[in-house]
Amino acid sequence: MQVLYDKHGPFVSKFSWPTQQKRTLESKIYTACHHEYGTPRHIMSFEVKASNGSAVSNAHFLPALSEADAASWSLFDVPKESPEYRSLWLSTVFGGGQTLEECDSAWDLCECLLQASFGWLAYYAKGYQHRDISVGNIMKLKKGSQPCKEFSTRFVRSLLGLDLKETDGSGTNVASSDDVSGSIDERISPDKFSEDTIAALETRASSGDQAAATKYKRQRAVIDMARQLEDTARDLGVTSECKAYLSDCDIAVPIKNYFDDNKRDGSPAATEFMNKHLREAKEEGSTYLQSPVDDMHSLFWTAMWCVLFNTKDRGQTYREKKWRSKLQGNVDERDSTMNDILMWGTGEEYSPMLRTMNPLFVQWRRSLLDNLDSQWDSAWESVDQGEIDEKLLVFHDFAFRGILGLAKLIAEHRPRLMSSYSIPSQE
């Protein structure tokens, strides 16, 4: 990945080697989320060609399919795999910047995390689970914010299959997802939107059917959470200006395909930003269904990493240096470090960034472990053997639970975060 500049400002170019099945995935997702809040402004993506017009590929170093058996041998009865041919691709987006390790204050970090989480939700709204939230995949714009669509959860109607036409007096549709100007409040009031959506839902609910009643209850909860999230974003001052975005969608998956074992793509490699259960599954090579809850855990670990490794306010005590080292260790070292940070991180000897963020971390971790994880296990068990639409609805439910939970936590801690120490600019 490289940050470059032209007369329009910074842009990021990323080279990657996607598999044949994922060659156009990232550009497809970026195009679907054009101008959405918390996502990058996509310029172009293309396959890199050699001077003779052929794709730059690893095929030069791999045997042909007909030669694969002769070029490999079996160890420990491991099944032979076909050669994995890849080609070089370039994706370019506007808005070069820096990682969240360079945030100026705890409030600056929380704003960026929230905006990136809204980017995650934008991808989700278009049918994709990102699955790779990490410090390297969230960019803070170096030259300030950039305009985008105003954050909205109005996509909840199409997500639940309750599409309604919103029209003005002339019959013109005023809720088009392509409209990037004007206030949401000017188009339709939040209360009216929710009321109409719930009314549409109720007309489809079947009385007396237990399965329909359960579905209605969960759909109603999603609508309520969508309304709360939009209200919370408004209270936090979220507008159509965005200073951070979530990128790198090359290992995202179409959510509908995720419940089909024949179509499911493998999970990303284990990193410091993964939920413990997911990371252990990757290290053990066992089967694991990566859900929105896992991505919420990745947001937490990314936030903790960015505090401990902040370039402008990096604590230099023995403990902080030890914590940074152990955060990069195995899963047990990382979890024990997290527990130590939550217990001791408010000490006066530690960096102001850590002291300020620690109370939020304590509540955030508790909400993930005590609420989201246990509720997920129960909800998923109830639909594990059910139909795909039942599983999708549980995914929708927990996608909103996770993002809304984070937004509410940031809103609760905002006064303290905003009054905390701000690191002077080094420029």
The pTM score is 0.87
Q: What is the pLDDT of residues 95-147, one digit of tens each?
A: 778 999 999 999 999 999 999 999 999 999 999 999 999 999 999 998 788 89
User: What percent of the chain has pLDDT above 70?
Assistant: 81
Buried b (16+ CB within 10 A) or exposed e, 345-379: bbeeebbbbbbbbbbbbeebbebbeeebbeebeeb
**CA dihedral of 256, 260, 266, 268, whole degrees rounded to 10:** 30
User: What percent of the chain has pLDDT above 90?
Assistant: 53
Helix pair angle (292-308, 276-284), 10° resolution: 100
Number of C-beta neighbours around residue 169 at 10 A? 5
Full set of structural domains in the chain with CATH: 96-140+241-427 (1.10.510), 152-237 (no CATH)
| Adjacent-strand bridge partners of 245 | 139
Q: What is the pLDDT of residues 331-345, one digit of tens each?
A: 999 999 999 999 999
Q: What is the pLDDT of residues 134-180, one digit of tens each?
A: 999 999 998 788 899 999 999 999 999 887 554 333 333 334 444 44
